[in-house]
Every structure is written in structure tokens, then in C-alpha cells.
Structure 1
């Protein structure tokens, strides 16, 4: 078995380049984190870091680091080295995931569980290629069923969306610019926060920004007038640095945006203010465009979905609620009860 063991610093020549210096920040951070527990001679930090470094998008790298840390901690607390884990431990971890509350106090969604198990499997596929493990302990783990036509994201009514945007406009220029951008273009939040002010471009009459989609693919998108006006009012004369920054000038982070969006939602009186997230506005972009009879393929292309079924499921969820037969039965029952009450009175 080939072990990728970092050499002690005393053995490193000063004129020799360490390839790990070329890793993305997420990969180096994970390797350093693991080295605190396993030391420099254990192959795990280098293997895990190399696995993360292979991922094309920053979003995927961050997600893999987060999910791998959770799995590694579970294995370590079970007194089992991750490179020696077998199917029983992987099975136990799957059950652990299913019952561990998330930030909202509820068990994770089936999609979240499936993604965490898939990420763990991806690590072991990479480790197997390096001959660091013989098999993937997650290969035979039962995955939770994920309905391809179901979207767990809670939607809003058009007037609720407008109220949220109005509240953001009254709150601050940065809030208004972000919320209008998320709703009018339907991007993922990591695609927006990765942008720099210097990336604002111009193409045949359109002001554009280049989003980096899943897989690292670049896609220029037009910034519509309302979003552009909000963005210009926020940026002022600033032409460089992160597009969205904190008061101290650093890049705005996803957790900070989630928290701020819920503050705005509470102020706007949105029913799901405690669970709203940036993806809710992406959901609204899709459902509102489909409700306005924008062709499915245009909406699909705008949000970067490879499968139209992924786009359509947002619309199916809306129709499942709006057209549910329970409303018809409820109206009939209310009429009958009202007639009975009239007779008794």
C-alpha cells in the first residue's frame, strides 16, 4: 500500500517545492486540521487535502470539508482511524446523520443525508486510487430515498417577495442590492458572494457579471435595470474588492447572509422568516417565471440546471399546494356546516 506521508521539515530541501502549497485554501485548511489529531507522518491529512483540492468549485470544496470533518470526528470518537473504517461503522454513521438535528433543530433532509454519504464515498474512491484503502466502506450503505420531483424549499407569494424586497430597500443599499440580485437572476448564494466589483462587464448593451456555476463553469449573466440601479447605489465609486462586503471591508459570508435575510424576513412579516434562506429567492425566480409561462428551457438555462426535471420540480411543488383537492373539500364542508348553523339558529 502506498502511503503519502509528508516528510519531516528537517528533511525538506530549501530548494524543493511542496506541491501542497498549490492547493486551494480549503484543502490546506482541512489538512492542517487533520494534522492536529493525526500528526505529520499519518497519510490521512495529505490524502484528504488532495481529495478536496481536486474539486473544481469552491462551493464543492467547502461542502466536502464540512461533511468530511463530521465523518472524521465520528470515526475518531469511535476509536477507529478513517482509513481503517469498514461497513458497520459507515452504516452506524448513516443512522447517526439521520437523527442529528441541524441548525433549525430538525433532522436533516434526505437530500442532505444523501449528499453527506456521497461525499464520504467520493473520499474513499480517491483514497482507493492511491491504494490507501482496499474498499469504500460507504459503497454498500443504504441511501435515503430522495424524490426527484420534490423540493423542500418553502416558497413565497408574489406579494410576500415584493414585501421582502421593499424591506431590504428600506434597510440598507447593500441589503437591497443583494435581495434584488438573488430574486431577479436566481443564482446560488455562493456564486454571488464569490464575485468581485471589478468583474462587472459590458456585452452588446448588457451590463454583465460572470457567475461560476457548479463544476467551475463560467457563465455571464445580464444584470437587469432594477438590480443594476440597486448595485450602483450600493457600490458608489467602488470598482474593486469583493462585490458584497461587510462594514470592515471583507467578503460577506454565507452564514452572515442567511442571518441577515432572516432579520429582513421577520421585519417584512414573512411567515417562514425563521427558515428562509437565500435559496428561497432562487426558488421564487424559477416558480414565478414558470407561472408567467416563460419556456422551461429558458428558465433551466438561466439557473444552470443540466436536467429540466430539476427545474420543473419547483413548479410541481407549487401546483401540488395550489391545486390540492383538500381546498375543494374544505369549501364544501364549510358551506354545509354553515347551513347547519343557520338551521339551528
Structure 2
């Protein structure tokens, strides 16, 4: 067999393709942010973008990029290039995270700290693999303990959920459609906001929406009549573009939705309204279905959990409060005190 010989240099094409043009948008954005800080000759921006684009879902890419920038800012504040970081700096960063506020204003949760450290560690694993750095400084950093049975998400009563939905219905068609979808389908906010109008489909008598779950898994879910009616009112005949948009036609963003939900919660007089978030409605989908004795495996499949323990964790918080023996003890004490008062 004759080996293929390279063409003479004069025949080589002058049209060169930059492989970075094929990256996901989140990776391109991350590279751009880092290039503004380090310039286009530093290897960090391209290494970070290449690592980011390997992640399977847009949600993961955004989370990893956000957490890498958090670590980069910390290293830069110490006057250390991320590629020169060693274990002592990574240890100090772990301690720093434990003192930082999360989105709710409280100290960053152990799971939030663990996610930030995991993202940084993943980046360095990739950097080691492509020989950009000699070692991963996060390999031996102690991770915070994350209780597998704990769910930090605030819950609501059925009456509070109904008030929130009614308030959204009276507020605006977009608000009503969003709240009903999040509650009745138990979707994550990123899955919901990624949808386009033409994703609304039909299958065997069901109106459907395709969700891109964590890890890149795809799942077709039915849209129940109440949510479908709310969607159709919201769309008002619109046949293309993002499912949820701003008044200017731009895709609605997660921070905007967080803010809007809290406005609705305050208008609905929901206790702890300033802690309400989109995940609260997913939490309610799970706990309300399990409270109605819907089999665990059906709820697990509906929300796309790979492990039933994750689904049960949401329910365990509800039962720990609703069934706490303090209520029974307090009721018996109140009865005795009332009887004693009657004897007097």
C-alpha cells in the first residue's frame, strides 16, 4: 500500500479554521472573560474554555464557569496566577468559601462549597491531562461534609402554593405560565428557560415538552391541561422564539426569574417570601406528590433523578417537620394545662 504523501507547502490552504469557534457559547464567554484579564497569549483562557466546553449540559457549563471564575478571582487577589497555585492556596480558598454568602444571603451551604471545590478540581484534572500544569492543587483539599438527607429548600403548604399560583394568574399571563409549569411539571429553572415555543409538541394524545436534564439526558414530559391553558394564554399565538421572553423579546434569565418569583411571593403573603426560589416549586412537586402516595419511582422518573434517595430527601424534610413529636407533646401539655385551669 502506498502511503499518502503531504501536499507541497504551496498547495496548503490559507483558510485556517479556529477549533475554538466550535466551542459551546458558555466556553467562549469564559475564554473571553479570562482573555481580558490575561491576554490572548496566556494559556489559561484557552485551557479554561476547552475544559468548559467538555461538560455535557449548558447548566453544568455555566455552573463550572461561574465557579472557576470565583477561584480565579481569589487566586488573582493573592497575586498568584492560577497555573502557579499550590495546595496551601487551595486550602485557604476552601476556608474562604466557608465564610462566603450564598444566593440567599446566608453562609454558602456545604453543598455549594463542595460544588465550587469540585469545579476547581475538575479544571485542574483537565489541565494536568493536557500538561498545562504539573499537578492538581485541589487533590488533597478537604471537602465539606454534605448531608445526603438534607434539603435546604424552603417548603410551602398546599394553601400557600395555591395563593402563589392565583397571584401569578392575576399578575400576568407570563407569570402564570411560568409558575404552573414549574409546579405541575417539577422542572428545573434552567430546563424551563432553555425551551423554545416550537418545542411544544404532540405525542399519543399528549402535548409535550422536551427537557434537557442534568448530564445531557433528554426527557419528554406531558403538559397537563391547566399548564397548557396557561402557556397558550401567555404565547397568544406566538409560534417561535424562546418560550419565556422579556418585553424586548430576549430570553428570560434565571436572576430575573428569581427576582420575579419573590415579588409574586410577597404579593401572595407567603411567609419567607424573600427565600422563595424556582427550586421551591420543584420541591413542592416532589413533596406534594409523595404526600398523595404517588409511588416514589414515578416521582423519581418525573423529575429525572438517577437515585431514589435524592427524591426521598425532599420528602424527609417535610415529614421531619409535619410529624415531629414536639407537636404531640405540646398538644398533650396544653390539654393538661387547660384541665388544671378548669379545676381551679
For normalisation by structure 2, the TM-score amounts to: 0.94
Spell out structure 1 runs of 4+ moving beyond 4 A: 339-344
Quote the residue 2:288 is aligned against.
288
Quote the residue 1:93 is aligned against.
93
Q: Deviations over 1:108-137 (max 9, x none)?
A: 111111111111111011101101112211
Alignment of 1:274 with 2:274, yes or no, is yes
Instruction: Say what the alpha-carbon RMSD is for the aligned residues.
Output: 1.3
Unaligned runs of 5+ in 2: 1-12
Instruction: Report how far residue 231 of structure 1 moved.
Output: 0.3
Instruction: Report how far residue 337 of structure 1 moved.
Output: 3.6
Quote the residue 1:326 is aligned against.
326
SS of corresponding position for 1:274:
helix
When residues 310 and 103 of structure 1 are mapped into structure 2, their CA distance, relative to the original with a 3 A threshold, is closer
Instruction: Report how far residue 339 of structure 1 moved.
Output: 4.3
1:1-345 equivalence runs, <5 A: 15-342=15-342
Instruction: Report how far residue 333 of structure 1 moved.
Output: 2.7
Instruction: Report how far residue 340 of structure 1 moved.
Output: 4.8
Q: Which has the higher mean CA deviation after the structures are superposed, 128-137 or 256-265?
A: 128-137
Q: How many residues align?
A: 332
CA distance in structure 1 between the partners assigned to 2:243 and 2:126 by the alignment: 35
SS of corresponding position for 1:237:
coil
CA distance in structure 2 between the partners assigned to 1:75 and 1:20 by the alignment: 25
CA distance in structure 1 between the partners assigned to 2:37 and 2:280 by the alignment: 38
SS of corresponding position for 2:271:
coil
CA distance in structure 1 between the partners assigned to 2:110 and 2:341 by the alignment: 46
Q: Deviations over 1:179-225 (max 9, x none)?
A: 00000000100000000001111101001111111111211111000
CA distance in structure 2 between the partners assigned to 1:84 and 1:342 by the alignment: 76
CA distance in structure 1 between the partners assigned to 2:340 and 2:32 by the alignment: 73
Instruction: Report how far residue 342 of structure 1 moved.
Output: 4.8
Instruction: Report how far residue 56 of structure 1 moved.
Output: 1.4
CA distance in structure 2 between the partners assigned to 1:33 and 1:18 by the alignment: 18
Q: Deviations over 1:47-87 (max 9, x none)?
A: 00101111111111111111111100000110111111111
Q: Deviations over 1:286-337 (max 9, x none)?
A: 0011111111111000000000000011111111111111112222333344
Contact 2:196 2:243 in 1 (8 A): yes
SS of corresponding position for 1:99:
coil
When residues 312 and 103 of structure 1 are mapped into structure 2, their CA distance, relative to the original with a 3 A threshold, is closer
Unaligned runs of 5+ in 1: 1-12
